[in-house]
């Protein structure tokens, strides 16, 4: 059994915890599945359990800050819960389905676009005509195949950055058809009539699989459902940073994760957009990635420069708090 530090127990028992953190679960069934919250700043002690029991299994997960809801799926069942720290109360929405049938449903990732109000995912089905990117009605689980993809493609992680209006994904497939470049971290557009897949990075040396992806604070968190750590890729500098340790007690074969980005422009990841975020922004203002005062979190629109648009996004969201 995992032993908790006093700090983690106190944090788990003392009500809401700060937002801007990574939530992750895997797909193992025994011992009891657990959904974990990890403080990416490393200041909140050990990972905190949010939910235990069979409903905590996940291979895909995402967060909608407008409704403060987590969505996750074990591959077929779709669940949601309002985020309120430890003691999540899950609701079964239903099964992900095509026209009422779960035949050929094998979801491997989940993401949410607040602009369209739709969930999206990758259906890693062994049925070729159902394998690819799907949109999913968050109220019903009804799915529509948006783009069929080949068997040697598997976007096991998808994450949407609402400020930059960008999708990111991790692909475990080795194929190079359909504009792909094998396994790795991508920025992609699978919704427009002409899809684009831009590979940002290979996986760290020796790694051939990543189970899910969360994006926030200028970083891509590449989560594994096994005991392997979470790889952290800085989207501004294009370099890997120190791994986060795995929260999992027992290894699964898949996993799901979400970044709790409750406030836009929360640069210091403390759950509010306030004076210190403005201080961070002004300290980095005018910087590009090679400069000493560069801060990847402050490049909110992800255009490679910290400028007026980034400051404007911060000012528009100033005062946000959860
Ligand atoms: Ca903040
Ligand atoms: Ca910018």
pLDDT digits (tens, 9 = 90+) for 283-313: 999 999 999 999 999 999 999 999 999 999 9
Q: pLDDT category, 19, cuts 50, 70, 90? A: low
The CA 272 to ligand 1 mean position distance, Å, reads: 4
CA 73 – ligand 1 centroid, Å: 30
Please give the Cα distance from 74 to 179 (Å, whole number).
29
Looking at the predicted structure, is the pLDDT value of residue 82 above 90? yes
Residue (of 253, 190, 259) closest to 222 by Cα position: 259
Domains identified in the chain and CATH numbers: 6-259 (2.120.10.30), 275-316 (no CATH)
pTM: 0.92
* Nearest ligand for residue 302 CA: 2
pLDDT at 262: 86
Lowest-pLDDT range of 102-111, 239-248, 276-285: 239-248
Centre of ligand 2 to C-alpha 211, Å, is 29
Percent of the chain residues topping a pLDDT of 70: 93
Report pLDDT digits (tens) over 100-135: 999 999 999 999 999 999 999 999 999 999 999 999
| Least distant ligand from the CA of 265 | 1
Residue 121: both structure tokens together: 């995912």
**Distance from the alpha carbon of residue 25 to the mean position of ligand 1, in angstroms:** 26
The pocket of ion ligand 1, defined by CB under 5 A, consists of: 266, 268, 270, 272, 277
**Average of pLDDT values for 213-232?**
95
Q: What does the alpha-carbon distance between residue 209 and residue 108 come to, in Å, rounded to a whole number? A: 13
Give per-residue pLDDT as tens, 64-79: 999 999 999 999 999 9
3-state secondary structure the chain: CCCCCHHHHHHHHCCCCCCCCEEEEECCCCCCCEEEEECCCCCCCCCEEEEECHHHCCCEEEEECCCCEEEEECCCEEEEEECCCCCCCCEEEEECEECCECCCCCEEEEEEECCCCEEEEEECCCCHHHCEEEEECCCCCEEEEEEECCCCCCEEEEEEECCCCEEEEEECCCCCHHHCCCCEEEEEECCCCCCEEEEEECCCCCCCCCCEEEEECCEEEEECCCCCCEEEEECCCCEEEEEECCCCCCCCCCEEEEECCCCCCCCCCCCECCHHHHHHHHHHCCCCCCCCCCCHHHCCCCCCCCCHHHHHHHHHCCCCEC
- Dig out the tokens for 141 from the structure: 């689980």
Contacts of 74 (CB under 8 A, 6+ apart): 27, 57, 58, 59
Q: What's the pLDDT at 17?
A: 57
- Is the pLDDT assigned to residue 9 strictly greater than 60? no
Checking if the pLDDT of 14 tops 70, the result is no
Q: Pick the more confident residue, 291 or 322.
A: 291
**Alpha-carbon distance values, 176 to 99, 121, 153, 155, 167 (Å):** 31, 20, 9, 13, 20
Provide the pLDDT confidence category of residue 18 given band limits of 50, 70 and 90: low
Which is more confident, 251 or 109? 109
In degrees, rounded to 5, the angle at the alpha carbon of residue 202 between the alpha carbons of residues 197 and 204 is 150
Calculate how far, in angstroms, residue 37's C-alpha sits from the geometric centre of ligand 2.
29
Residue 2 is predicted with a pLDDT of 39
Please, which pLDDT band fits residue 5 given cuts at 50, 70 and 90? very low
- How many angstroms separate the alpha carbon of residue 268 from the centre of ligand 1? 5
CA of 320 to the centre of ligand 1 (A): 9
pLDDT reported for residue 43:
72
- Of the listed ranges 19-28, 87-96, 131-140, 235-244, the least confidently predicted one is 19-28
């Amino acid at each position: 059994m995992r032993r908790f530090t006093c700090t983690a127990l106190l944090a788990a028992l003392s009500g809401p915890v700060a937002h801007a953190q990574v939530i992750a679960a895997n797909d193992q069934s025994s011992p009891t599945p657990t959904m974990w919250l990890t403080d990416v700043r490393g200041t909140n002690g050990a990972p905190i359990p949010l939910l235990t029991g069979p409903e905590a299994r996940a291979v895909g997960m995402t967060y909608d800050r407008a409704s403060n809801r987590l969505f996750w799926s074990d591959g077929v069942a779709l669940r949601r819960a309002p985020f309120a720290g430890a003691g999540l109360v899950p609701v079964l929405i239903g099964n992900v389905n095509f026209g009422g049938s779960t035949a050929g449903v094998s979801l491997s990732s989940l993401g949410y676009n607040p602009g369209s109000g739709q969930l999206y995912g990758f259906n890693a089905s062994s049925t070729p005509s159902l394998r690819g990117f799907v949109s999913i009605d968050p109220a019903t689980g009804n799915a529509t195949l948006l783009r069929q993809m080949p068997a040697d493609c598997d976007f096991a992680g998808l994450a949407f950055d609402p400020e930059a209006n960008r999708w990111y994904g991790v692909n475990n497939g080795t194929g190079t058809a359909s504009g792909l470049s094998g396994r790795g971290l991508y920025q992609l557009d699978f919704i427009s009539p002409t899809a684009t897949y831009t590979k940002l990075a290979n996986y760290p040396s020796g790694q051939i699989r990543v189970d899910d992806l969360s994006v926030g604070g200028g970083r891509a968190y590449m989560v594994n459902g096994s005991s392997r750590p979470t790889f952290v890729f800085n989207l501004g500098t294009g370099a890997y940073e120190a791994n986060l340790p795995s929260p999992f007690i027992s290894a699964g074969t898949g996993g799901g994760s979400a970044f709790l980005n409750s406030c836009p422009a929360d640069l210091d990841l403390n759950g509010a957009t306030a004076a210190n975020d403005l201080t961070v922004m002004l300290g980095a203002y005018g910087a590009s990635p090679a400069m000493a005062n560069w801060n990847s979190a402050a490049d909110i629109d992800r255009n490679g420069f910290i400028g007026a648009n980034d400051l404007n996004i911060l000012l528009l969201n100033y005062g946000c708090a959860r």
